[in-house]
Structure 1
Amino acid sequence: MKLFYLAFAGVLYLASFAGDALAQSADHYLTIQLKNGPVVIQLMPDVAPKHVAQIEALAKKGEYDNVAFHRVIDGFMAQTGDVKYGNIEKGFDASLAGTGSSDLPDIPAEFSKTPFVRGTVGMARSQDPNSANSQFFIMFADGSFLNGQYTVVGKVVSGMENVDKIKRGEGQNGEVKNPDRMIKVTLGKK
Protein backbone atom coordinates (compact mmCIF):
# COMPACT_ATOMS: atom_id res chain seq x y z
CA MET A 1 0.00 0.00 0.00
CA LYS A 2 2.87 2.40 0.77
CA LEU A 3 4.28 1.78 -2.71
CA PHE A 4 0.91 2.75 -4.24
CA TYR A 5 0.82 6.01 -2.25
CA LEU A 6 4.40 6.84 -3.24
CA ALA A 7 3.65 6.15 -6.90
CA PHE A 8 0.45 8.23 -6.71
CA ALA A 9 2.32 11.10 -5.01
CA GLY A 10 4.99 10.91 -7.73
CA VAL A 11 2.35 11.13 -10.46
CA LEU A 12 0.76 14.14 -8.76
CA TYR A 13 4.18 15.82 -8.48
CA LEU A 14 4.94 15.22 -12.17
CA ALA A 15 1.46 16.45 -13.15
CA SER A 16 1.92 19.64 -11.14
CA PHE A 17 5.37 20.16 -12.70
CA ALA A 18 3.95 19.73 -16.22
CA GLY A 19 1.11 22.07 -15.28
CA ASP A 20 3.59 24.68 -14.08
CA ALA A 21 5.48 24.47 -17.40
CA LEU A 22 2.24 24.92 -19.35
CA ALA A 23 1.16 27.79 -17.10
CA GLN A 24 4.58 29.37 -17.56
CA SER A 25 4.02 29.57 -21.34
CA ALA A 26 0.36 30.49 -20.97
CA ASP A 27 1.26 33.70 -19.10
CA HIS A 28 3.61 35.00 -21.80
CA TYR A 29 1.90 36.63 -24.77
CA LEU A 30 3.01 39.32 -27.18
CA THR A 31 0.42 41.24 -29.20
CA ILE A 32 1.61 42.94 -32.38
CA GLN A 33 -0.72 45.46 -33.96
CA LEU A 34 -0.37 45.39 -37.74
CA LYS A 35 -2.19 47.55 -40.30
CA ASN A 36 -4.67 44.70 -40.94
CA GLY A 37 -5.22 43.77 -37.29
CA PRO A 38 -3.57 42.15 -34.28
CA VAL A 39 -1.30 39.12 -34.10
CA VAL A 40 -1.05 37.29 -30.78
CA ILE A 41 2.09 35.26 -30.12
CA GLN A 42 2.37 32.82 -27.26
CA LEU A 43 5.97 33.06 -26.10
CA MET A 44 7.74 29.92 -24.83
CA PRO A 45 9.91 30.69 -21.80
CA ASP A 46 10.07 26.95 -21.10
CA VAL A 47 11.83 26.48 -24.48
CA ALA A 48 13.96 29.66 -24.70
CA PRO A 49 13.92 31.55 -21.37
CA LYS A 50 16.73 34.03 -22.15
CA HIS A 51 15.38 34.95 -25.57
CA VAL A 52 11.81 35.37 -24.28
CA ALA A 53 13.03 37.55 -21.41
CA GLN A 54 14.85 39.80 -23.88
CA ILE A 55 11.83 40.12 -26.21
CA GLU A 56 9.60 40.92 -23.24
CA ALA A 57 12.06 43.54 -21.93
CA LEU A 58 12.24 45.24 -25.34
CA ALA A 59 8.46 45.15 -25.79
CA LYS A 60 7.92 46.57 -22.30
CA LYS A 61 10.18 49.54 -23.17
CA GLY A 62 8.31 50.14 -26.47
CA GLU A 63 11.41 49.34 -28.53
CA TYR A 64 9.44 47.30 -31.10
CA ASP A 65 6.84 49.99 -31.84
CA ASN A 66 7.02 51.21 -35.48
CA VAL A 67 9.75 48.71 -36.42
CA ALA A 68 9.67 47.56 -40.06
CA PHE A 69 9.32 44.09 -41.51
CA HIS A 70 12.53 44.67 -43.45
CA ARG A 71 12.91 41.16 -44.92
CA VAL A 72 9.83 39.27 -46.12
CA ILE A 73 10.09 36.23 -48.37
CA ASP A 74 6.87 34.82 -49.79
CA GLY A 75 6.34 31.19 -48.76
CA PHE A 76 9.06 31.46 -46.10
CA MET A 77 8.97 34.16 -43.40
CA ALA A 78 8.59 37.82 -42.35
CA GLN A 79 11.51 39.27 -40.36
CA THR A 80 11.40 42.31 -38.08
CA GLY A 81 12.82 43.57 -34.79
CA ASP A 82 15.80 45.71 -35.81
CA VAL A 83 15.27 48.34 -33.13
CA LYS A 84 18.41 50.27 -34.13
CA TYR A 85 17.86 50.85 -37.86
CA GLY A 86 14.34 49.55 -38.44
CA ASN A 87 12.16 52.10 -36.62
CA ILE A 88 10.12 53.81 -39.33
CA GLU A 89 9.62 56.93 -37.18
CA LYS A 90 13.10 57.18 -35.60
CA GLY A 91 16.27 56.67 -37.58
CA PHE A 92 14.97 54.25 -40.22
CA ASP A 93 17.68 53.33 -42.70
CA ALA A 94 16.57 50.90 -45.39
CA SER A 95 20.18 50.16 -46.35
CA LEU A 96 21.06 49.10 -42.77
CA ALA A 97 17.73 47.59 -41.62
CA GLY A 98 18.44 44.04 -40.59
CA THR A 99 21.99 44.69 -39.44
CA GLY A 100 21.14 46.33 -36.12
CA SER A 101 20.16 45.10 -32.70
CA SER A 102 19.33 46.58 -29.30
CA ASP A 103 21.49 47.97 -26.51
CA LEU A 104 21.08 44.66 -24.68
CA PRO A 105 23.72 41.91 -25.06
CA ASP A 106 23.45 39.12 -27.63
CA ILE A 107 21.94 35.89 -26.35
CA PRO A 108 23.50 32.41 -26.45
CA ALA A 109 21.56 29.96 -28.64
CA GLU A 110 18.73 28.04 -27.00
CA PHE A 111 18.10 25.40 -29.65
CA SER A 112 15.30 22.94 -29.00
CA LYS A 113 13.34 20.14 -30.62
CA THR A 114 10.43 22.52 -31.25
CA PRO A 115 9.96 22.46 -35.04
CA PHE A 116 9.68 25.42 -37.40
CA VAL A 117 6.17 25.19 -38.82
CA ARG A 118 3.68 27.77 -40.09
CA GLY A 119 3.23 30.39 -37.36
CA THR A 120 6.45 29.58 -35.48
CA VAL A 121 8.38 32.61 -34.24
CA GLY A 122 12.16 32.27 -34.29
CA MET A 123 15.11 34.52 -33.47
CA ALA A 124 17.13 35.95 -36.34
CA ARG A 125 20.91 35.87 -36.03
CA SER A 126 24.13 36.18 -38.02
CA GLN A 127 26.37 33.20 -38.89
CA ASP A 128 27.29 33.05 -35.20
CA PRO A 129 24.62 30.91 -33.46
CA ASN A 130 25.08 33.02 -30.30
CA SER A 131 24.34 36.38 -31.97
CA ALA A 132 20.54 36.68 -31.61
CA ASN A 133 19.49 39.95 -30.02
CA SER A 134 16.25 41.73 -30.94
CA GLN A 135 15.28 40.52 -34.40
CA PHE A 136 12.78 37.73 -34.95
CA PHE A 137 10.79 36.17 -37.77
CA ILE A 138 7.37 34.60 -38.25
CA MET A 139 7.08 31.57 -40.52
CA PHE A 140 4.57 31.66 -43.42
CA ALA A 141 5.12 27.94 -44.00
CA ASP A 142 6.95 24.95 -42.54
CA GLY A 143 10.75 25.22 -42.57
CA SER A 144 12.25 22.00 -41.22
CA PHE A 145 15.70 23.04 -42.52
CA LEU A 146 15.77 25.58 -39.64
CA ASN A 147 15.12 22.96 -36.94
CA GLY A 148 17.94 22.89 -34.39
CA GLN A 149 19.70 25.78 -36.17
CA TYR A 150 17.68 28.74 -34.86
CA THR A 151 16.01 29.42 -31.52
CA VAL A 152 12.22 29.05 -31.37
CA VAL A 153 10.66 31.65 -29.05
CA GLY A 154 6.94 31.29 -29.69
CA LYS A 155 4.02 30.61 -31.98
CA VAL A 156 1.19 32.67 -33.44
CA VAL A 157 -2.05 31.70 -31.69
CA SER A 158 -4.31 34.23 -33.43
CA GLY A 159 -4.07 36.69 -36.30
CA MET A 160 -2.05 34.56 -38.73
CA GLU A 161 -4.32 35.92 -41.48
CA ASN A 162 -2.84 39.36 -40.67
CA VAL A 163 0.71 38.00 -40.89
CA ASP A 164 -0.18 36.61 -44.34
CA LYS A 165 -0.99 40.18 -45.49
CA ILE A 166 2.45 41.65 -44.63
CA LYS A 167 3.99 43.27 -47.71
CA ARG A 168 6.45 40.92 -49.44
CA GLY A 169 9.96 41.85 -50.41
CA GLU A 170 11.70 41.43 -53.73
CA GLY A 171 14.75 39.52 -54.77
CA GLN A 172 16.35 36.49 -53.18
CA ASN A 173 16.94 38.21 -49.83
CA GLY A 174 13.41 39.62 -49.57
CA GLU A 175 14.29 43.30 -48.97
CA VAL A 176 11.10 45.37 -48.73
CA LYS A 177 10.64 48.85 -50.21
CA ASN A 178 8.22 50.95 -48.11
CA PRO A 179 7.81 48.08 -45.64
CA ASP A 180 4.93 47.31 -43.33
CA ARG A 181 5.66 47.78 -39.64
CA MET A 182 4.71 46.64 -36.17
CA ILE A 183 2.55 49.61 -35.19
CA LYS A 184 2.44 48.75 -31.50
CA VAL A 185 3.81 45.76 -29.56
CA THR A 186 2.49 44.98 -26.10
CA LEU A 187 2.75 42.20 -23.58
CA GLY A 188 -0.39 40.16 -23.00
CA LYS A 189 -3.42 39.32 -25.12
CA LYS A 190 -5.51 42.18 -26.46
Structure 2
Amino acid sequence: MEADPSGFNIDAPRWDQRTFLGRVKHFLNITDPRTVFVSERELDWAKVMVEKSRMGVVPPGTQVEQLLYAKKLYDSAFHPDTGEKMNVIGRMSFQLPGGMILTGFMLQFYRTMPAVIFWQWVNQSFNALVNYTNRNAASPTSVRQMALSYFTATTTAVATAVGMNMLT
Protein backbone atom coordinates (compact mmCIF):
# COMPACT_ATOMS: atom_id res chain seq x y z
CA MET A 1 0.00 0.00 0.00
CA GLU A 2 1.38 3.36 -0.95
CA ALA A 3 2.25 5.76 1.85
CA ASP A 4 1.78 9.00 -0.10
CA PRO A 5 -1.89 10.01 -0.28
CA SER A 6 -1.46 12.53 -3.10
CA GLY A 7 -3.73 11.53 -5.95
CA PHE A 8 -5.55 9.06 -3.71
CA ASN A 9 -9.27 8.78 -4.52
CA ILE A 10 -11.05 8.00 -1.27
CA ASP A 11 -14.27 7.06 -3.06
CA ALA A 12 -12.63 4.55 -5.40
CA PRO A 13 -13.42 0.97 -4.32
CA ARG A 14 -10.60 -0.65 -2.38
CA TRP A 15 -11.46 -4.05 -3.88
CA ASP A 16 -12.73 -4.92 -7.36
CA GLN A 17 -16.52 -4.62 -7.09
CA ARG A 18 -16.99 -6.64 -10.28
CA THR A 19 -16.00 -9.80 -8.41
CA PHE A 20 -17.89 -11.62 -5.68
CA LEU A 21 -14.83 -11.72 -3.42
CA GLY A 22 -14.25 -7.99 -3.89
CA ARG A 23 -17.82 -7.23 -2.85
CA VAL A 24 -17.56 -9.59 0.13
CA LYS A 25 -14.37 -7.87 1.32
CA HIS A 26 -16.03 -4.46 0.93
CA PHE A 27 -19.08 -5.37 3.00
CA LEU A 28 -17.07 -7.25 5.63
CA ASN A 29 -14.98 -4.10 5.98
CA ILE A 30 -17.87 -1.69 6.52
CA THR A 31 -19.93 -4.06 8.69
CA ASP A 32 -17.01 -4.88 11.00
CA PRO A 33 -18.58 -5.12 14.51
CA ARG A 34 -15.48 -3.52 16.05
CA THR A 35 -16.55 -0.18 14.56
CA VAL A 36 -19.46 -0.12 17.03
CA PHE A 37 -16.97 0.56 19.83
CA VAL A 38 -15.25 3.51 18.16
CA SER A 39 -15.68 6.80 20.02
CA GLU A 40 -17.83 9.66 18.71
CA ARG A 41 -14.69 11.78 18.53
CA GLU A 42 -12.96 9.26 16.27
CA LEU A 43 -16.05 9.03 14.04
CA ASP A 44 -16.09 12.81 13.72
CA TRP A 45 -12.37 12.71 12.85
CA ALA A 46 -13.11 10.11 10.17
CA LYS A 47 -15.82 12.31 8.64
CA VAL A 48 -13.47 15.30 8.52
CA MET A 49 -10.71 13.20 6.94
CA VAL A 50 -13.04 11.79 4.27
CA GLU A 51 -14.45 15.23 3.46
CA LYS A 52 -10.96 16.77 3.27
CA SER A 53 -9.73 13.93 1.08
CA ARG A 54 -12.68 14.47 -1.28
CA MET A 55 -11.65 18.13 -1.57
CA GLY A 56 -8.04 17.13 -2.18
CA VAL A 57 -6.84 18.73 1.05
CA VAL A 58 -5.16 15.98 3.04
CA PRO A 59 -3.30 17.09 6.20
CA PRO A 60 0.49 16.79 5.89
CA GLY A 61 1.86 13.51 7.19
CA THR A 62 -1.37 11.60 6.54
CA GLN A 63 -0.82 8.04 5.35
CA VAL A 64 -3.06 6.13 2.92
CA GLU A 65 -3.78 3.57 5.65
CA GLN A 66 -5.17 6.37 7.83
CA LEU A 67 -7.43 7.47 4.99
CA LEU A 68 -8.61 3.90 4.40
CA TYR A 69 -9.39 3.53 8.11
CA ALA A 70 -11.23 6.86 8.11
CA LYS A 71 -13.26 5.73 5.09
CA LYS A 72 -14.10 2.44 6.83
CA LEU A 73 -15.38 4.31 9.89
CA TYR A 74 -17.22 6.85 7.76
CA ASP A 75 -18.96 4.18 5.67
CA SER A 76 -19.94 2.21 8.77
CA ALA A 77 -21.33 5.13 10.78
CA PHE A 78 -22.66 7.79 8.40
CA HIS A 79 -25.71 7.43 6.18
CA PRO A 80 -24.74 7.39 2.48
CA ASP A 81 -27.70 9.57 1.40
CA THR A 82 -27.92 12.11 4.22
CA GLY A 83 -24.37 12.11 5.61
CA GLU A 84 -25.87 12.02 9.12
CA LYS A 85 -24.34 9.89 11.83
CA MET A 86 -26.52 6.81 12.29
CA ASN A 87 -27.54 5.60 15.74
CA VAL A 88 -25.31 2.80 16.98
CA ILE A 89 -28.04 0.17 17.30
CA GLY A 90 -29.25 0.77 13.74
CA ARG A 91 -25.85 0.47 12.06
CA MET A 92 -25.13 -2.59 9.95
CA SER A 93 -22.02 -3.16 12.06
CA PHE A 94 -24.29 -3.77 15.07
CA GLN A 95 -26.33 -6.44 13.24
CA LEU A 96 -24.06 -9.31 14.29
CA PRO A 97 -23.75 -8.56 18.01
CA GLY A 98 -27.33 -7.28 18.30
CA GLY A 99 -28.78 -10.24 16.44
CA MET A 100 -26.75 -12.71 18.49
CA ILE A 101 -27.93 -11.18 21.76
CA LEU A 102 -31.56 -11.20 20.67
CA THR A 103 -31.32 -14.75 19.32
CA GLY A 104 -29.88 -15.86 22.65
CA PHE A 105 -32.77 -14.29 24.54
CA MET A 106 -35.35 -15.78 22.16
CA LEU A 107 -33.80 -19.24 22.58
CA GLN A 108 -33.65 -18.87 26.34
CA PHE A 109 -37.14 -17.46 26.93
CA TYR A 110 -39.47 -19.49 24.75
CA ARG A 111 -41.40 -21.43 27.38
CA THR A 112 -44.13 -18.90 28.22
CA MET A 113 -46.37 -17.14 25.75
CA PRO A 114 -45.73 -13.64 27.19
CA ALA A 115 -41.97 -14.20 26.84
CA VAL A 116 -42.34 -15.39 23.23
CA ILE A 117 -44.49 -12.37 22.37
CA PHE A 118 -42.14 -9.94 24.11
CA TRP A 119 -38.92 -11.23 22.55
CA GLN A 120 -40.44 -11.48 19.07
CA TRP A 121 -41.62 -7.89 19.43
CA VAL A 122 -38.16 -6.76 20.59
CA ASN A 123 -36.47 -8.65 17.73
CA GLN A 124 -38.81 -7.23 15.10
CA SER A 125 -38.41 -3.73 16.55
CA PHE A 126 -34.64 -4.13 16.29
CA ASN A 127 -34.98 -5.24 12.66
CA ALA A 128 -37.27 -2.28 11.93
CA LEU A 129 -34.77 0.13 13.49
CA VAL A 130 -31.93 -1.29 11.39
CA ASN A 131 -34.05 -1.09 8.24
CA TYR A 132 -35.11 2.48 9.02
CA THR A 133 -31.57 3.58 9.84
CA ASN A 134 -30.23 2.14 6.56
CA ARG A 135 -33.19 3.17 4.40
CA ASN A 136 -32.93 4.86 1.04
CA ALA A 137 -33.30 8.42 2.32
CA ALA A 138 -33.55 9.75 -1.23
CA SER A 139 -37.02 8.16 -1.49
CA PRO A 140 -39.42 9.76 0.98
CA THR A 141 -41.49 7.48 3.20
CA SER A 142 -44.48 8.74 5.15
CA VAL A 143 -44.96 8.10 8.85
CA ARG A 144 -48.13 6.19 7.92
CA GLN A 145 -46.18 3.86 5.59
CA MET A 146 -43.53 3.23 8.24
CA ALA A 147 -46.12 2.59 10.97
CA LEU A 148 -48.07 0.19 8.76
CA SER A 149 -44.89 -1.67 7.79
CA TYR A 150 -43.78 -1.91 11.41
CA PHE A 151 -47.21 -3.08 12.60
CA THR A 152 -47.51 -5.66 9.82
CA ALA A 153 -44.00 -7.08 10.31
CA THR A 154 -44.28 -7.19 14.08
CA THR A 155 -47.75 -8.74 14.06
CA THR A 156 -46.68 -11.36 11.52
CA ALA A 157 -43.53 -12.26 13.47
CA VAL A 158 -45.40 -12.54 16.77
CA ALA A 159 -48.27 -14.54 15.20
CA THR A 160 -45.83 -16.93 13.52
CA ALA A 161 -43.87 -17.47 16.74
CA VAL A 162 -47.03 -18.00 18.79
CA GLY A 163 -48.41 -20.38 16.16
CA MET A 164 -45.18 -22.37 16.01
CA ASN A 165 -45.03 -22.50 19.79
CA MET A 166 -48.56 -23.89 19.93
CA LEU A 167 -47.57 -26.70 17.55
CA THR A 168 -44.78 -27.91 19.81
For Structure 1 versus Structure 2, the TM-score category normalised by the shorter chain is: under 0.3
User: Which protein is bigger by CA-based radius of gyration?
Assistant: 2
TM-score normalised to structure 1 length: 0.25
TM-score normalised to structure 2 length: 0.27
Larger strand share, 1 or 2:
1
Q: Using CA pairs below 8 Å that are at least 6 residues apart, which structure has the higher relative contact order? A: 1
